[in-house]
Structure 1
Amino acid sequence: MKNLLGFIQNFQCINMKEGMKYRIVLLWVGCWLFFSSDAQTVRVSTEKLNISIDKEVSFHFQWSSEDHIPIATDQTRAALVVNGVQCSPFILDPSSVKQEQTRFQEWGMSKVTAFVSHFQNKDLNILQSTRLVLPEKFPDVVLIEQSYTNKGKERIHIDSVTSLPLRVSPKQLSSGQQDHLLASFQGGINEWGRDYALIWLSPGFSQDNFQGMHQTVSPERIEMIGGGMPFVDIWGKNMGVAIAHIEKEPQWVSLPVKVDADSIARISIVEVPDESIGMDGWVAPGESFETVLSALIFHKLDFHDGLRQYGELLRTRGVDIPTSSPQAAYEPYWKSWGFELDFTLEEIYGILPELKDLGIYVANLDDGWFDYYGDWKVNRSEGKFPGGEEDMIDFVDSVHQRGFRTNLWWYPLGVSPESDLAKNHGDLLVMDKDGNYPKESRQLYQLCPAYGPAMDHVEGLVKRFIKTWGYDGLYTDTRGLSAVPPCYNKKHKHKTPMESFQQTTRVFEVIDETLKKYNKEGLHEVCICAVPHSPYHMPYYQISSASDPVDLLQTRRRIKVEKAIHGPSYAAGDCYQVPDDEWSGFSVPQSFQSAVGTGGQVTTFYTDLDSVQYAIWKRWIQEYRSLELSSADYTNLYDIAFDKPEVHVVKKGREMYYGFYADLWSKTDPIELRGLEQGVSYKVLDYANGRDLGMVTADKPYVYSGFKEFLLLRVTPE
C-alpha cells in the first residue's frame, strides 16, 4: 500500500439528507470489507483512494495520485462535546458495517460504506452513525455525513460537533521538506484588504472562518458581517487537501485553521448549535442530531482544482453556479465612480466620445444618483436630476443614443434610517432580538430577504430601473450583501431567526429573475466588497467582480478564484484599473497586462487621460478586444504559491497564452511553458512587445527572457 494521504479522527454520520437517499441500483460488494486479525479495521478502496477505519473510528486516507509522508490524525479535539463532556473515543461495532455500490440521483454510481459506533460514560449513551460516499464521477472526493443518536434516558445538549479534523505538516505535502511553509485558501470574511486566495501558514496563525455573523475590526471600521465561502484548502509544493460543507444553503458553521509552533496546521468543520437563533442543540432520548454534509477533496497545485471540484459538487446538489457568461458580459466597460458622489451628468456626457474612441461602449452610472438607500428616488441636486424621474429617463435615453449600453449601481438590501421606507415600513426590515434594527458597515438597516413583502419591494425597484427608466442591467454592490443577520421581526413569522441568514440568496434571485423578465439580455454583475463571493448567490449573476483588491496580486488571484469555481470562461472583472495619478486605493493600479494575461475583463473608472495615457489605453483595449481571452479557457498549469515567476494560462483553440509576473526576472533563469502537446513545435511571441522568442516543444519547453513586472507570451503550434 502506498503512503497514506491523510488521517481524520472520529467521523460520525449516517442518515444522508435529501438527495443522498435516492437509490436506483443497490449491490452488495462483499470483497470491500476486511477485518484484520489483530484489530477490527474496515478498508475501502477505489482507483484513486484507499481508506481504512480503525476500531476507534479514526480514518486513514491514501490518495494514490501522489506519494507522500502520512498525515497524522488530529488527536487533540473530540468530535463531539455533550453536556460539557468530550465524547471520545467512539468504538466501532464491526457487525454494523455495510458496504454497497449504489446509484444516487445526485452523485451517480458510488461506493458507500456505513457503520455505527458507541460512546458510553455514566449517563451518556450515544450512538454515532457514519456514512462515506465515494462517487465514481468525483474520484478525488470523499463525502462524509454524520449523526448522533441519544440512546440514554435523559435529553442531552450538543455543545459542539467537529467534522474532518485534519492535522497537516509542510513535510506531508512537500515531499518531506519540513522547512517549506504551507499555503492556504480560506473562505471566511475578515477586515477589508486581507487576502483570502493565498494565505501563508506560519506558526501561531489562527483564523476561524466563521460563516455566521461576526465582528471584524480594522483601522477604518468595525462591522458585523457574515457569509463567505465554506471552503478551506491547504497545499504544499506537491499536493493539497480541501474541506468544505456542501449543503444547499448557507450554514452557521466555522472552518477554523490554526498553526502550531512546529508549523503543524489543523483544520476542521465545527458546528456550535445556537438556540438564540433557532438552532436546536437539545436531543431527546431516541432522537438524533445530524451534521452538515462534508466533502474532503484532494488535488495538485494550488486551490484551483479543489475549488473547481467544490463548484461541481454544489452544481450536482442543485446550486446552479454558471460555468460561462453571455457574450455581452465580456465587453470592457467604464463607470462613473471616478467622479465620485458629486458627479454631474455633463461630466459623464463629456467623457463618452473618448470612451467610444477607445473602444468602450458600456458606460455605467455608479453611486451618488439617489437620495436614500431603500427609497431609491433620484438625486435632485443641480447637475444631476433636478427634474426627478423624467431627468433619469432622459439621461438613459441620451446614453443609448450615443451608442452605449448602461447599467445602474445599487445596494438592494440597504435602507437609510432617514428614508421613507424606514420611517413608514419598518415591517420590511431585519430586527434583532431586542427589537432594534441592526446596522451593517454603511450604517444602514437591511431588508429581510426571507420576508415576501420585502422582496416584493426589491422586485418593484428592479422593474422601475429596467422597464421604466430603461437601464440595460444592474451592478449590485457592497459587503452587506454577503449575509444578513438573524431576524426576530415578529411580523415576518419566521420559523426560526436563521431564515433571514440562510435565505440571503433570495434577493439575488429576485433581482436576476426580474431583470430578465423586462430585459432578456440584461446583465447582472455583483461585487461583494473585499470578500469571497458566496457560492449560493452565484447562480443569479453573470459577471463577478474581483471585489475591491488592494493590489494587482490580489486581483490576479481573485480572477483565478472566480474562473475556478465558476468555469474557465466565466466573466471575471479586474475591478477598475485607473491611471497611476488617479489611483486612490479603491481600484487597481493601471495594468492591462495583468488583466489581459489572466483572462480578466477590463474595467475602469478613469476621469482624464493625457496623450501618453490615451495611446496606452487605446492600444490595450483594442488588444483586449482582438484577443478575446476573457471568454477563452483559463487553464490551471501552475501553482500561484510555489511556482516562480507567477504564471497564468489561457487557452484559445490550440493557442496558449501565458502571463508571467514578477518584480524583476533574470534572462538567465529559465521560464517553463507547461501544457504543450507532444510532437508539436510552437512559435513563441512576446505579444506585448512584438518580440519573437523562437521555438519550443514539450520536450524543450523553456524560454529565456528577462522582464520587469510582466511577460505576455502567445504560443502558437506550427
Structure 2
Amino acid sequence: MMVLKNFVSACFMALFLFLIQCKDKDLSPISLTVQGDFMHLKNENIHLIFDDLMYCKVEFEVDGYVQSMNHSTRTGSNPVPPHFIILDDIAYKHFRISSHEFENIEDADFGSGKRLTLNGSDSAIERSLVIEMYELYPDVALSWCTYTNRTGKDLKINGVFYNYYRLDRKLTNQEASSCDFRYLQPLNKKWGETWTNVGVTDTINEDFIIPGSGSNRSGIPFIDVWGPEMGMAVFHVEGIPRFHHIALKAGEEGTVDMGFKGLPEDSYGQLPEVLHSGASFTTWKSAVCTHHHDFFMAGRRFGQFLDGALKKEGRSGLPEEYPDQAYEPYWKTWGMNSLNGTGEFTIQEVKGKMDSLADYGFTAIMLDDGWFDMLGRWDPDPGKFSGEQALIDFVQEAHKTQWGQHKNKSFKVYLWFDLLGTNTAEGLEHLLVRNGDGSLYRSRQAKYTFCPSSSQFLSFARDTLLEKIIHQWDVDGLYTDWEDQNPLPCFAENHHHPYLSESVENNYLAFKTMHEKIMGSKPENGWTGMCACASVHDPYQYPYYLLGDASDPTSNKQVRWRTRWIKALRGPTAPAGDGYVDKMNYNNIAGEPAMSVATGSVITSLRWNVEELGGADHARKWMKLYFSEKLYRGEYLGLYDIEYHKPEGYVIRKGDGSVYYAFFDEKAFDKEVELRGLLRDVEYEAIEYDTGTRKGKVVGTDPMFHIASKPGNDQGEQVFYYVLKCIPL
C-alpha cells in the first residue's frame, strides 16, 4: 500500500511539473528565429524570411513541404522589396535593420498572435515595418510601415509601394515559364469581361485603380496569382475604402511583379503629398496570403479580415447568418418578352405567368427596369399603371394566397432600383455629386448621381423614396442595379464634406439606410439584393444587402466562378444569385439549372421558358432538388482548383455530414477523381442525387471514385456535368 501511495504521489508531482513547464513554454505556432543576417518569422503555413535590408522571401508550408514563388533578391537594376517609398524621385528600398521587437498580441477580432517590428533606415529615412500573424489564420501575414523623414528638408511623396512581390513560376516548377500563372483581380474593365480568371503573359502590364472612378470601374482591393503548386494573394485590411493601385506587370526576365502602390495625386487627399522634415507617415494595412488551389481560400481570408476591419471602424461586419427569404428563388420581367432584355411588359402578362411560376417554386416577382416613369423620382410608369393605386393593387394581389395550380401560393414583390442614380436634376440638384469645377457629375448609365453620404440625400431616400415604396406601396424588397453605385468624391459645397474623400469612404451609408429601412419595416419578408449591372460589388457595401448576384455573366464559367467569389468573400453559406439561369442574346450560358443548383447558387430567372432550360421535366426536377437538397444553405468548400483541375470540381458540406459534389466541363469526361472533403475514417453511401442512382460505398481513406458526365442544356455553350452526394453511414 505504501508503494502504491508513493507511486501515485510521484505521478501527481510529475504532472504538476509538466503543467508548470507548459505554462512557461510558448505553445504558439508562430515563432521568430534569427540566423546570421536573416530573420525567420513563421506560422504554420506562411513563412517570411527577412534579410538585413528587410527584403523578404515568402514561403508556403504544408505537411512539412516548403516552397516559394517570389524572388527576394536585392540585386539587379530594379530590386523589389515588399515595402518601399519614392521621395523626390528617389526610391528608398534598402532599410538596414537596427533593432527589432517581437511580442504577443491579442486582437478582439483576430484572436491571439505575434507582432514583429523591424526598425531601420535608408540614408536619412527611417522605417518601422510591423508584421502581425495570428494563430487562427496560419496562412496570412498583415503588415504596414511608418516612414520618418530625418533629412532636414521636406520631400515630395511620389509613390508608396506595399506588399509588392516579384513572382516566378520556375521557383516551383523549373519546366514552366516564369510568368505561367493564373490570376483573379475582381475589377470592372469592360462589360462582360469582369471578375474573370485569366492567364498571365510575359507582356502583361495591368494597373488596376481601386476603387476606380465610378461607373463600372469599381474594383476590390485584392489580387491573387497562382499556379498548380501554390498561390500568393495580397489584399487590404482596411475598414474604409482607399484610393490606390494594384500592379500586375511583367518584370525582369519574364517574372511578374504584383502588389499595391499608392499615388498621392489620385488619392483625393487620403495620402499626403509631402513628407515634411521630422514628420512621419504610416501606410495602410494590407496582407499577404499563401495557399493551395485557386483564389477561394485567399478570398475567404480577405472576407474574414475585412469583417474585422469593418468592425474596428465601428461599422457592421459581414453577416454570419441570413434569413430564409435571402435564399428564395425569384423571377424578373427583364427577359419575358425579348431575348435581348427589355422593360416592355404589361401587368396582365406578368399575372398570366404567375400561376406557372408558383408551381415551379418561385416565391418572388421582380418588376424590372421599366416599371417606373423617371429614374430618381420613382413613380409608376403611366403606360403600365394608371396610378400609384394600380401598383398597390398589384402588390396586394400578389401577396394573396391564390396562385398556382392549387391556388395555395403567394408572392413577394420586389422592384428594380438604382439607389444612387437619377435622370433628372430638377428639384434634386442640392442632393447630387458635383465635380471640382462645380458642375454635376455625369454617371455612365444614369445621368446624375446622388451623393451617398449627404445627410440631405439620406433623409430624402429614407423618408421620401423608401417610405413611399415600402410603407405606402407595401413592396417587399429592392434590387439595386446599374453602374452608379461607386461615384467619385463629391465637391458639392452644400454637403459640407469635412474632407475630399469622405463621400467615398462613407458610400456605405446610403446602402445601410436602404437596408435598415426595408428590414426594419419587414423583418420576415424584407429583401435587398445587389447586381450593379455586371459590375463587381463594392465589399464595403456587403453588410447591407442579403443577396449578392453573379451580375450578368456571359459564359458558363462566369456563372460558376462569380458564385465562388461571392461565397469566398461573403462567407461559405452566403446567398449568391446565379446571375440568371436563362440564355439571352447578350450571353452565351447554357441555360442549365443544374449548374445553378449544384454550385449552391440561388435560382434566379429572366424568362423561365422551360423549353429553353432543357424541357419542363428537366426544369421541374432541378427546382425540386433546389428545395429538397438546400445546397444554397450548405458550407461551400474550395477543395479543388477550378483552373488547373479538370473537370472543375465543387464541394458543399451540409450540417448532417453529407458531402455534395458537382463536376463541370465544356467537354464530356469519363475518369476517376478524388472525392475531397470526406472524413478519413467514415464510410459513405454515394448517390447520384439527380437520378437517385445508388453508386455503392466510399470511404475517406480511399476517396477515388469514377465519374462519367451527362450532357447539359446547350442553348449557349455546351456544358457537361456530374453530381453526387455522399451520405455518412
Q: Is the pair's TM-score, using the shorter chain for normalization, greater than 0.5?
A: yes
Question: In the superposition, relative to structure 1, how do residues 363 and 587 fare at CA in structure 2: closer, same or farther (>3 Å)?
Answer: farther
Q: Which deviations, in whole Å up to 9, do the C-alpha atoms of 1:234-256 show, x marking residues without a partner?
A: 11112211101111111001111
Report the counterpart of residue 501 of structure 2 in structure 1. 498
Report the counterpart of residue 90 of structure 2 in structure 1. 85
Q: CA deviation at 1:191?
A: 0.8
Task: Pick one of 354, 365, 381 that aligns with 1:352.
Answer: 354
What SS does the aligned partner of 2:567 have? helix
Report the counterpart of residue 337 of structure 1 in structure 2. 334
Contact 1:189 1:531 survives alignment (8 Å): yes
Report the counterpart of residue 414 of structure 1 in structure 2. 421
Report the counterpart of residue 620 of structure 2 in structure 1. 618
Question: In the superposition, relative to structure 1, how do residues 636 and 33 fare at CA in structure 2: closer, same or farther (>3 Å)?
Answer: closer
1:636 maps to 2:638:
yes
Contact 1:174 1:239 survives alignment (8 Å): no
Question: What is the alpha-carbon distance in structure 1 between the residues aligned to residue 489 and residue 520 of structure 2?
Answer: 30
Report the counterpart of residue 16 of structure 1 in structure 2. none
Contact 2:414 2:475 survives alignment (8 Å): yes
Report the counterpart of residue 310 of structure 1 in structure 2. 302
Question: What is the alpha-carbon distance in structure 2 between the residues aligned to residue 266 and residue 695 of structure 1?
Answer: 48
Q: CA deviation at 1:69?
A: 4.8
Give the letter for the 1:413 counterpart: L
Give the letter for the 1:491 counterpart: N
Question: In the superposition, relative to structure 1, how do residues 671 and 607 fare at CA in structure 2: closer, same or farther (>3 Å)?
Answer: closer
Q: CA deviation at 1:212?
A: 3.6
Task: Pick one of 440, 445, 449 that aligns with 1:446.
Answer: 449
Q: Which deviations, in whole Å up to 9, do the C-alpha atoms of 1:557-583 show, x marking residues without a partner?
A: 1111111112221111111122x5xx2
Contact 1:479 1:531 survives alignment (8 Å): yes
Over the aligned positions, Cα root-mean-square deviation in angstroms equals: 2.4
Report the counterpart of residue 400 of structure 1 in structure 2. 399
Question: What is the alpha-carbon distance in structure 1 between the residues aligned to residue 653 and residue 546 of structure 2?
Answer: 21
Report the counterpart of residue 110 of structure 1 in structure 2. 113
Contact 1:205 1:259 survives alignment (8 Å): yes
Question: What is the alpha-carbon distance in structure 2 between the residues aligned to residue 260 and residue 119 of structure 1?
Answer: 24
Question: What is the alpha-carbon distance in structure 1 between the residues aligned to residue 34 and residue 439 of structure 2?
Answer: 59
Report the counterpart of residue 288 of structure 1 in structure 2. 280
Question: In the superposition, relative to structure 1, how do residues 379 and 533 fare at CA in structure 2: closer, same or farther (>3 Å)?
Answer: same
Which range moved further: 651-660 or 700-709? 700-709
Report the counterpart of residue 426 of structure 1 in structure 2. 429
Give the letter for the 2:96 counterpart: I
Q: CA deviation at 1:60?
A: 2.6
What SS does the aligned partner of 2:462 have? helix
Question: What is the alpha-carbon distance in structure 1 between the residues aligned to residue 277 and residue 545 of structure 2?
Answer: 46
Structure 1 unaligned regions, length at least 5: 1-26, 215-222
Q: CA deviation at 1:608?
A: 4.4
Question: What is the alpha-carbon distance in structure 2 between the residues aligned to residue 225 and residue 91 of structure 1?
Answer: 43
Report the counterpart of residue 259 of structure 1 in structure 2. 250
| TM-score normalised by the chain length of structure 2 | 0.86
Question: In the superposition, relative to structure 1, how do residues 584 and 493 fare at CA in structure 2: closer, same or farther (>3 Å)?
Answer: same
Question: In the superposition, relative to structure 1, how do residues 51 and 176 fare at CA in structure 2: closer, same or farther (>3 Å)?
Answer: farther
Question: In the superposition, relative to structure 1, how do residues 70 and 563 fare at CA in structure 2: closer, same or farther (>3 Å)?
Answer: closer
Q: Which deviations, in whole Å up to 9, do the C-alpha atoms of 1:667-706 show, x marking residues without a partner?
A: 3x32322222233333322233443333322343233343
What SS does the aligned partner of 1:64 have? strand
Question: What is the alpha-carbon distance in structure 2 between the residues aligned to residue 157 and residue 543 of structure 1?
Answer: 45
Q: CA deviation at 1:205?
A: 1.9
1:710 maps to 2:709:
no
Question: What is the alpha-carbon distance in structure 1 between the residues aligned to residue 422 and residue 264 of structure 2?
Answer: 30
Give the letter for the 1:247 counterpart: E
Question: What is the alpha-carbon distance in structure 2 between the residues aligned to residue 99 and residue 541 of structure 1?
Answer: 41
Question: In the superposition, relative to structure 1, how do residues 518 and 163 fare at CA in structure 2: closer, same or farther (>3 Å)?
Answer: same
Question: What is the alpha-carbon distance in structure 2 between the residues aligned to residue 562 and residue 308 of structure 1?
Answer: 9
Report the counterpart of residue 9 of structure 2 in structure 1. none
1:165 maps to 2:180:
no
Question: What is the alpha-carbon distance in structure 1 between the residues aligned to residue 642 and residue 392 of structure 2?
Answer: 46
Task: Pick one of 543, 549, 552 that aligns with 1:548.
Answer: 552
Q: Which deviations, in whole Å up to 9, do the C-alpha atoms of 1:60-85 show, x marking residues without a partner?
A: 33333242256212753572111122
Question: What is the alpha-carbon distance in structure 2 between the residues aligned to residue 333 and residue 283 of structure 1?
Answer: 54
What SS does the aligned partner of 1:67 have? strand
Report the counterpart of residue 574 of structure 1 in structure 2. 578
Q: Which deviations, in whole Å up to 9, do the C-alpha atoms of 1:480-513 show, x marking residues without a partner?
A: 21x1111111111212221122222111111111
Q: Which deviations, in whole Å up to 9, do the C-alpha atoms of 1:102-148 show, x marking residues without a partner?
A: 2234433221111322222xxxx321121111122222111101121
1:385 maps to 2:385:
yes
Contact 1:170 1:182 survives alignment (8 Å): yes
What SS does the aligned partner of 2:113 have? strand
Structure 2 unaligned regions, length at least 5: 1-25, 337-341, 403-409, 712-719
Which range moved further: 620-629 or 190-199? 190-199
Contact 1:645 1:662 survives alignment (8 Å): yes
Question: What is the alpha-carbon distance in structure 1 between the residues aligned to residue 306 and residue 125 of structure 2?
Answer: 31
Contact 2:420 2:449 survives alignment (8 Å): yes
Report the counterpart of residue 71 of structure 1 in structure 2. 70
Report the counterpart of residue 517 of structure 1 in structure 2. 520
Contact 2:211 2:244 survives alignment (8 Å): yes
Task: Pick one of 219, 225, 247 that aligns with 1:234.
Answer: 225
Report the counterpart of residue 24 of structure 1 in structure 2. none
Report the counterpart of residue 363 of structure 2 in structure 1. 361
Contact 1:366 1:408 survives alignment (8 Å): yes
Question: What is the alpha-carbon distance in structure 2 between the residues aligned to residue 105 and residue 628 of structure 1?
Answer: 34
Contact 1:646 1:661 survives alignment (8 Å): yes
Question: What is the alpha-carbon distance in structure 2 between the residues aligned to residue 672 and residue 431 of structure 1?
Answer: 56
Q: CA deviation at 1:623?
A: 1.8
Give the letter for the 1:54 counterpart: D
Question: What is the alpha-carbon distance in structure 1 between the residues aligned to residue 453 and residue 67 of structure 2?
Answer: 48
Contact 1:189 1:209 survives alignment (8 Å): no
Report the counterpart of residue 186 of structure 2 in structure 1. 187
1:468 maps to 2:472:
yes
Question: What is the alpha-carbon distance in structure 1 between the residues aligned to residue 603 and residue 511 of structure 2?
Answer: 24
Q: Which deviations, in whole Å up to 9, do the C-alpha atoms of 1:359-413 show, x marking residues without a partner?
A: 21211111111111111111111xx112x21111111111112411111110010
Task: Pick one of 453, 458, 463 that aligns with 2:461.
Answer: 458
Give the letter for the 1:449 counterpart: P
Question: What is the alpha-carbon distance in structure 2 between the residues aligned to residue 717 and residue 49 of structure 1?
Answer: 34
Give the letter for the 1:513 counterpart: E
Which range moved further: 328-337 or 611-620? 611-620
Query: Aligned runs of 1:93-172 on 2, under 5 Å?
Result: 93=98, 96-120=99-123, 125-172=124-171
Question: What is the alpha-carbon distance in structure 1 between the residues aligned to residue 68 and residue 140 of structure 2?
Answer: 20
Question: What is the alpha-carbon distance in structure 2 between the residues aligned to residue 607 and residue 706 of structure 1?
Answer: 28
Contact 2:242 2:267 survives alignment (8 Å): no
Q: Report sequence identity in percent.
A: 27
Q: Which deviations, in whole Å up to 9, do the C-alpha atoms of 1:615-664 show, x marking residues without a partner?
A: 33222211211111111111222110111111111112222211111123
Contact 1:552 1:588 survives alignment (8 Å): yes
Question: What is the alpha-carbon distance in structure 2 between the residues aligned to residue 177 and residue 33 of structure 1?
Answer: 33
Question: What is the alpha-carbon distance in structure 2 between the residues aligned to residue 198 and residue 128 of structure 1?
Answer: 36
| TM-score normalised by the chain length of structure 1 | 0.87
Q: CA deviation at 1:354?
A: 0.9
Q: CA deviation at 1:303?
A: 0.8
Task: Pick one of 640, 663, 666 that aligns with 2:666.
Answer: 663
Question: What is the alpha-carbon distance in structure 1 between the residues aligned to residue 268 and residue 219 of structure 2?
Answer: 19
Question: What is the alpha-carbon distance in structure 1 between the residues aligned to residue 249 and residue 469 of structure 2?
Answer: 47
Question: What is the alpha-carbon distance in structure 1 between the residues aligned to residue 691 and residue 253 of structure 2?
Answer: 47
What SS does the aligned partner of 2:539 have? coil
Q: CA deviation at 1:260?
A: 4.6
